[in-house]
């Protein structure tokens, strides 16, 4: 499912994005109200996790605009404002649910799952990023309109990179999440598969002989998909969080201290 996180607290934004991504969602994260509406117009999300206190355009204004323009998107409001009137106003404006800060990450995820279950039937099974289009239901992939045959493992690796939407994935993360194995010293399986993928993506595009225009090597870190056509948003910090478990723990701590 496609989730848009709108949160101006950078650390919280990073962790929410990663936590939702690890649940298998395609997640975008923006830090202000204008960028939220711009991003939603580009690709209508199934769910918006929306902070109320935002720069440029307040969360309630975003909520109103979302309801007017994208009525099928579920909206979960994150708010530090505990007044009852504020919550009533959000619900009246069309929020589907809200969570008070500080919140438990597990509760937030459970509420997201509940909202997404209701929207499942309307979800678009197609992921799109950097000229690559992937239909997760039909298991088909095309690059700049040319279809590409991938093995099951190549498909899963590309799917993971697409879900990260341009954020760097370390080799350790790819081994854990795609190969479900413990990172063993000296293994180069990731690099081998990235080379396979690059070859297939580049085969019908002579201008991208190496395939590096699609899958970029981040020196000393890992790999990420490249998309030059993106609208500006936060610079993604290259946080290399070791495991999903630590990541979720960090979110819990962060949310509690928020
Ligand atoms: Ca805020």
User: What pLDDT sits at residue 229?
Assistant: 55
Give the sign of the dihedral formed by CA 14, CA 18, CA 20, CA 21.
positive
Q: Dihedral (C-alpha) 184, 190, 193, 199: value to the nearest 10 degrees?
A: -150
Within 13 Å and on the Cβ side, how many CA atoms surround 68? 7
2-122 is a CATH 3.30.470.20 domain: no
DSSP codes joined into one string, 163-200:
HHTT--EEHHHHHHHTS-SPPPTT--HHHHHHHHHHHH
Query: 69-90: string of b/e by CB count within 10 Å (b at 16+)?
Result: eeeebbbbbbbebeeeebbeeb
What does the alpha-carbon distance between residue 5 and residue 14 come to, in Å, rounded to a whole number? Answer: 9
> 228 C-alpha vs ligand 1 centroid, how far in Å?
28
- Specify whether the CB–CB gap between 81 and 52 falls below 8 A: yes
> 62 C-alpha vs ligand 1 centroid, how far in Å?
13
Max Cα distance, the chain (Å): 60
Q: Where are the domains of the chain?
A: 2-122, 126-257
> 234 C-alpha vs ligand 1 centroid, how far in Å?
15
Instruction: Please list all protein residues whose beta carbon sits less than 5 angstroms from ligand 1, which is an ion.
Output: 8, 51, 53
User: What pLDDT sits at residue 49?
Assistant: 96
Query: Six-digit token pair at 126?
Result: 């197609």
> 200 C-alpha vs ligand 1 centroid, how far in Å?
43
**Closest Cα to residue 142, out of 46, 214, 43?**
214
CATH architecture label of 126-257: Orthogonal Bundle (1.10)
One digit per residue, the tens of pLDDT, for the chain of length 258 reads 899 999 999 999 988 998 898 888 889 999 999 999 999 998 889 999 999 988 888 889 999 998 888 888 999 999 886 778 888 888 888 899 989 888 888 899 999 988 888 876 666 778 888 889 999 889 999 998 899 999 999 999 999 898 887 888 888 888 888 888 776 766 788 999 999 999 998 887 777 776 777 899 998 889 998 876 554 444 444 333 334 444 444 454 554 443
> 258 C-alpha vs ligand 1 centroid, how far in Å?
10
What does the alpha-carbon distance between residue 205 and residue 144 come to, in Å, rounded to a whole number? Answer: 9
Please give the model's pTM, rounded to 2 decimal places.
0.62
* Alpha carbon distances (Å) from 131 to 28, 43, 162, 239, 240: 17, 14, 11, 26, 26
What does the alpha-carbon distance between residue 4 and residue 8 come to, in Å, rounded to a whole number? Answer: 13
């Amino acid at each position: 499912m496609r989730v848009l996180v709108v949160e101006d607290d950078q650390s919280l934004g990073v962790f929410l994005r990663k936590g939702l991504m690890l649940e298998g969602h395609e997640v975008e994260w923006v830090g202000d109200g204008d960028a939220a509406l711009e991003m939603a117009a580009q690709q209508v999300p199934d769910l918006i996790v929306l902070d109320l206190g935002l720069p440029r355009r307040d969360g309630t204004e975003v909520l109103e605009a979302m309801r007017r323009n994208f009525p099928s998107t579920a909206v979960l409001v994150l708010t530090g404002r505990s007044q009852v009137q504020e919550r009533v106003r959000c619900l009246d404006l069309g929020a589907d649910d809200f969570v008070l800060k500080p919140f438990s990450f597990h509760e937030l995820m459970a509420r997201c799952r509940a909202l997404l279950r209701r929207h499942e039937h309307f979800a678009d099974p197609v992921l799109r990023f950097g000229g690559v289009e992937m239909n997760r239901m039909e298991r088909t992939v095309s690059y700049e309109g040319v279809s590409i045959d991938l093995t099951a493992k190549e498909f899963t690796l590309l799917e993971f990179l697409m879900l990260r939407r341009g954020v760097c994935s370390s080799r350790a993360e790819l081994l854990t999440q795609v190969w479900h194995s413990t990172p063993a010293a000296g293994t180069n399986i990731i690099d081998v598969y990235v080379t396979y993928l690059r070859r297939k993506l580049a085969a019908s595009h002579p201008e991208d002989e190496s395939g590096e225009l699609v899958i970029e090597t981040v020196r000393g870190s890992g790999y990420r998909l490249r998309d030059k056509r993106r609208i500006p948003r936060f610079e993604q910090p290259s946080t290399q969080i070791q495991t999903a478990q630590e990541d979720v723990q960090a979110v819990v701590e962060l949310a509690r201290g928020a």
